[in-house]
Amino acid sequence: MNKIVEVLPDKGALIERSLDLVLAKMQEAIEQRGRCTIALAGGGTPKPLYEAIATQDLPWDKIHVFWGDERYVPPDHPDSNEGMARRAWLDKVNIPPSNIHPMPTDGASPQDDASKHEAQLQEFFGTAVGEFPPFDIILLGIGDDAHTASLFPHTEALHVKDHLVTVGNKDGQPRITFTASLINQAHCVIFLVAGASKQPALAQIFAADADPITYPARLIQPQGELLWLLDSDAGQIMSG
């Protein structure tokens, strides 16, 4: 794993840089593997990136979109990560509907839906139980509490190592989330972090030694590339 940290002058530059990176990684995946599998982050930071991707002329039939986590709400709920990405990007391009692989949130329980999505991933990638398929690109953010995806501090999801997908928990609210084990198999993980409020979390995430159960983004140590794109507000901690 080689970690690269880039501090961009502002949020706009962060989005531009992340667009360039994502497009390059998409092209590389398609050239090398015939398709690109990308898992999206939720929250607010990546929305302008998704809007920018929607302006690109890409081989949409070769691009498969997943989510790294999802709030346990219907896709038309304002909190839905799927809904946000569809409005910002997917509804605006000619991507085959079958290339969009949302996390189910309409089953009998969050655990049922986590298991269902795990089976959907295994079928898509042709992997067996216990195998962890390598996504080409996984986009992530971090919360002020150093969570990532829906891997929140001191929750059970952090300890699930033998599954691809599990149930996250934010203050008692269920989430569906990739496990750290699945994220760490990715060819390329890109964190997008903006805003001064993320400084304390970043300081702990980048510290030589801190508890990953308290600062879950520390669990993300992928086999492949790890890129941290910070705007200057978030990245001030890098200037010492």
Binding site for ligand 6PG (CB under 6 A): 41-45, 69, 81, 141-143, 147-150
Q: How far is CA 176 from CA 33, 82, 102, 113, in A?
A: 28, 12, 11, 8
CB 178 within 8 A of CB 149: yes
User: What phi and psi values does residue 5 have, to the nearest 5 degrees?
Assistant: -115, 125
Q: Please choose, from the candidates 212, 217, 189, the residue with its C-alpha nearest in 3D space to the C-alpha of residue 4.
A: 189
Both structure tokens of 23: 């497009």
Q: Measured from the CB of residue 141, what is the shortest distance to ligand 6PG in angstroms?
A: 2
Q: Measured from the CB of residue 129, what is the shortest distance to ligand 6PG in angstroms?
A: 26
Cα–Cα dist 131/10, whole Å: 39
Cβ distance to ligand 6PG smaller for residue 15 or 95: 15
Cβ distance to ligand 6PG smaller for residue 150 or 155: 150
Cβ distance to ligand 6PG smaller for residue 42 or 104: 42
- Residue carrying structure tokens 């996504």: 135
Q: Measured from the CB of residue 177, what is the shortest distance to ligand 6PG in angstroms?
A: 8
DSSP H or E stretch at residue 72: none
Cβ distance to ligand 6PG smaller for residue 17 or 147: 147
Q: Measured from the CB of residue 170, what is the shortest distance to ligand 6PG in angstroms?
A: 8
